[in-house]
Structure 1
Amino acid sequence: MESALLSSSRFLSSQNRELGGLLRNFQSSFHGKLIFNRSFVGRDISIRRGSTGILASAVGKKVKKETVIPDPDYRIPIVLLGFAGGLVYTNNLLPAAPVGLLGLLLLVQTTRVRFVFDNEALEVKVGEQLEESGENVFVGGKNRWKYSTFVNWELWWPNFPVLVYFKETQTKPEGQVHFFPVIFDGKQLYDVMVERAGPSKTSGPKES
């Protein structure tokens, strides 16, 4: 009986030594430690260092971003038209005319102009079919600017955004400034600008 027990203990110790050697060889092949998570739901095996190349190849793949078009926002033209109506009511017809015309212009533009943020650039398009807006009437060139050329951008008065400003080096090497009235959803516009062009230096809706 004792000889049987002794022989079985030798057999088990021999198996343990072989198993330990296999584990050591397996660990050395990955140049690191094996960490086992023994939870019943998710049994993950994390391999330090050895998995770096695999992770890098997965992270390094270029993922195409979806096209984002912020929703139209009619608050600015409505405020301007309301202000013009107030001026007319108080017999201030002279200032009411330009304010009312600006409100009407922005109202029309809100229904037709769209900022389209694709994978690599911001482009101004018009109409339901998102047609090209042609050349910029002020500085020339296509109304499409790559995010990589943005120097800075600002969203002014974030609680009630009125103007969006950005400076890019695509039109001019020394930088070209653009101003647009915010006739789009200000929060959506800010979020996609941060995502695609990087964070603004000073402006933007504050997190609550």
Structure 2
Amino acid sequence: MEIALFSPPPSFVSAHYHKCDAFRSKFPCSSTGKLLYSNSHSTRNAGTTPTRRALISSVLDQKAEKETVIPDPDYRIPVALFGMAGGFVYADNLVAAVPVGLLGLLLLVQATRVRFVFDKDALEVKVGDQLQESGENIFVGGKNRWKYSTFVNWELWWPSFPILVYFKETQTKPEGQIHFFPVIFNGKQLYNALVERCGPSKTSGPS
């Protein structure tokens, strides 16, 4: 009795489904909750010419090239240095423990604040979550921003456990300027960004 009372009459069900059929190309059907645009979308794509598809693909590729990549911070090197410092302390070698521990602390702080930012044109070193300007390079001068077109070569040491990233560029000085940075970023992300923007290196990527 309750089923009969609360079930809609057959004529209502039929009208409901006819209404869904009539408007399914424009509106979601209440019985499925899904937008039924697939047929009309496929029909439009079927008529797309190869030239138009190539143009769309080219536009998408250009957008992908313009994406900014910021490798995640990595704390393995500071942690390893702290472990070494602890080992020196255990061996009662404070002369070695102090500088190694201080270096680990410095790299830990730098890993929380320094960022490599790969934009569409250049690699730039920025600071903090707000990506503030890092100022001039304290060693060679000039802004910490280098265009990919000026990169001569680059390497990661060592690929299986990257510790240092090296690159040489001709933007700072025509004969070439060498830079070394500790790898306080995700090694794989850093390697992939460098390969994509600056071309391949001589070494293999980090495992």
TM-score when normalising by structure 2:
0.71
Aligned-pair Cα RMSD in Å: 2.4
- In 2, Cα distance between equivalents of 1:165 and 1:199: 13
2:115 corresponds to: 114
- Give the partner amino acid of 1:204: G
In the TM superposition, what is the alpha-carbon distance from 1:65 to its structure 2 partner? 1.8
Larger Rg: 1
In the TM superposition, what is the alpha-carbon distance from 1:202 to its structure 2 partner? 2.4
| 3-state secondary structure, aligned to 2:159 | coil
In the TM superposition, what is the alpha-carbon distance from 1:95 to its structure 2 partner? 0.7
In the TM superposition, what is the alpha-carbon distance from 1:128 to its structure 2 partner? 1.3
1:145 corresponds to: 146
Structure 1 segment 9-24 matched on structure 2, within 5 A: none
Aligned length: 161
- Do the aligned residues in 2 keep the contact of 1:81 with 1:99 (CA within 8 Å)? yes
Q: Does residue 76 in structure 1 map to residue 70 in structure 2?
A: no
Q: Name the CA shift for 1:156/1:45 in 2 (closer, same or farther; >3 Å).
A: same
| 3-state secondary structure, aligned to 1:173 | coil
- Give the partner amino acid of 1:94: V
| 3-state secondary structure, aligned to 2:146 | strand
TM-score when normalising by structure 1:
0.71
Structure 1 segment 89-104 matched on structure 2, within 5 A: 89-104=90-105
- In 1, Cα distance between equivalents of 2:128 and 2:55: 42
- In 1, Cα distance between equivalents of 2:105 and 2:57: 51
- Do the aligned residues in 2 keep the contact of 1:156 with 1:204 (CA within 8 Å)? no
Q: Which ranges of structure 2 fall in alignment gaps of 5 or more residues?
A: 1-44
Structure 1 segment 145-184 matched on structure 2, within 5 A: 145-184=146-185
- In 1, Cα distance between equivalents of 2:161 and 2:53: 46
- In 1, Cα distance between equivalents of 2:92 and 2:79: 20
- In 2, Cα distance between equivalents of 1:54 and 1:184: 38
2:137 corresponds to: 136
Q: Which ranges of structure 1 fall in alignment gaps of 5 or more residues?
A: 1-41
- In 2, Cα distance between equivalents of 1:201 and 1:44: 46
Q: Any runs of at least 4 consecutive aligned residues in structure 1 with deviations exceeding 6 A, and if so which?
A: 42-47
Q: Name the CA shift for 1:71/1:45 in 2 (closer, same or farther; >3 Å).
A: closer
Q: Name the CA shift for 1:106/1:57 in 2 (closer, same or farther; >3 Å).
A: closer
1:30 corresponds to: none
- In 2, Cα distance between equivalents of 1:68 and 1:175: 25
2:187 corresponds to: 186
Q: Name the CA shift for 1:203/1:167 in 2 (closer, same or farther; >3 Å).
A: farther
Q: Does residue 195 in structure 1 map to residue 175 in structure 2?
A: no
Q: Name the CA shift for 1:174/1:112 in 2 (closer, same or farther; >3 Å).
A: same
Cα deviation, 1:69-110, whole Å, max 9, x if unaligned, reads 000000000000111011011101101111011000000000
- Give the partner amino acid of 1:156: W
- Do the aligned residues in 2 keep the contact of 1:121 with 1:145 (CA within 8 Å)? yes
Q: Name the CA shift for 1:128/1:46 in 2 (closer, same or farther; >3 Å).
A: closer
